[in-house]
Amino acid sequence: MFQFSLSRMLAVAERDLRRFRRNGVLLIPMALMPMIYLVILGKAMGGDLHGLPVAVVDQDGGPAAVTVHDRLQTLQQGRDLLRISDEPDAHTALNRLREGDYAAVVIIPPAFSEDASRGETAKLGVVVDNTDNTSANVIEGELRRAFTGVMPGGLASGMTVTNAAGQPMAAGLTSAPGIEVQRVDVYGHKEFIQYLVPGVIALALFFVAMLAGGIILVDDRARGIHEGYFVTPLSTLDLMGGLTLSAVTLAMIIGTIVLGSSILIARLPIIGGFRTIMLTELAILLLALGLILFMFTLMARVSNPMTPRALFGILNVLTFFPSGALYPVESYPPWLQAISAAFPMRYAVHSLRGLLLKGVGPQAVAPDFLVMGGFALIMLVLGALSFKRTL
Task: Verify that 220 and 354 share a domain, yes or no.
Answer: yes
| Euclidean distance between CA atoms 86 and 59, whole angstroms | 11
In a domain, 207, yes or no: yes
In a domain, 162, yes or no: yes
In a domain, 346, yes or no: yes
Task: Verify that 325 and 200 share a domain, yes or no.
Answer: yes
Q: Choose the final residue of a domain: 167, 185, 203.
A: 185
pLDDT at 160: 43
Q: How many CB atoms lie within 10 A of CB 257?
A: 11
Task: Verify that 129 and 205 share a domain, yes or no.
Answer: no
Task: Verify that 350 and 238 share a domain, yes or no.
Answer: yes
pLDDT tens for the 391 residues of the chain, in order? 567 777 777 787 777 777 666 666 666 666 776 777 777 777 777 677 888 999 999 999 888 888 888 888 888 887 788 899 999 999 999 999 988 889 999 999 998 888 888 878 888 999 999 888 888 999 999 898 888 766 544 444 334 444 444 444 433 333 345 788 899 998 888 888 999 999 999 999 999 999 888 888 788 777 777 666 666 777 767 777 888 888 999 999 999 999 999 999 999 998 888 999 999 999 999 999 999 999 988 887 777 788 888 788 888 888 998 998 888 888 888 899 999 999 999 999 999 999 999 989 899 999 999 999 999 999 988 888 887 655 5
Residue 115: give the domain boundaries. Answer: 52-185
Inter-CA distances, 41 with 27, 44, 47, 318, 323, Å: 22, 5, 10, 10, 12
pLDDT at 280: 96
Task: Verify that 127 and 196 share a domain, yes or no.
Answer: no
DSSP state of 271: T
Task: Verify that 343 and 225 share a domain, yes or no.
Answer: yes
Which of 347, 362, 371 shows the shortest CA–CA distance to 275? 362
Task: Verify that 199 and 105 share a domain, yes or no.
Answer: no
pLDDT at 118: 81
Q: Choose the final residue of a domain: 185, 202, 221.
A: 185
In the chain, the amino acid numbered 349 is: V
Q: Choose the final residue of a domain: 185, 217, 233.
A: 185
pTM of the model: 0.79
Start-to-end Cα distance in the chain? 44
Task: Verify that 116 and 256 share a domain, yes or no.
Answer: no
Three-state SS sequence of 227-258: HHHHHCCCCHHHHHHHHHHHHHHHHHHHHHHH
Task: Verify that 179 and 248 share a domain, yes or no.
Answer: no
Bridge partners, residue 56, by sequence: 86, 106
Q: What is the CATH number of the domain that holds 178?
A: 3.40.1710
Task: Verify that 344 and 259 share a domain, yes or no.
Answer: yes
pLDDT at 172: 35
| Euclidean distance between CA atoms 324 and 335, whole angstroms | 15
Q: 267 with 192: CB under 8 angstroms?
A: no
**CB neighbour list of residue 159: distance below 8 Å, 6 or more residues apart:** 63, 64, 116, 117, 152, 153
pLDDT at 29: 65
Q: What's the total number of domains in the chain? A: 2
Task: Verify that 128 and 178 share a domain, yes or no.
Answer: yes
Task: Verify that 196 and 180 share a domain, yes or no.
Answer: no
In a domain, 259, yes or no: yes
pLDDT at 22: 66
**CB neighbour list of residue 212: distance below 8 Å, 6 or more residues apart:** 246, 247, 250, 251, 292, 295
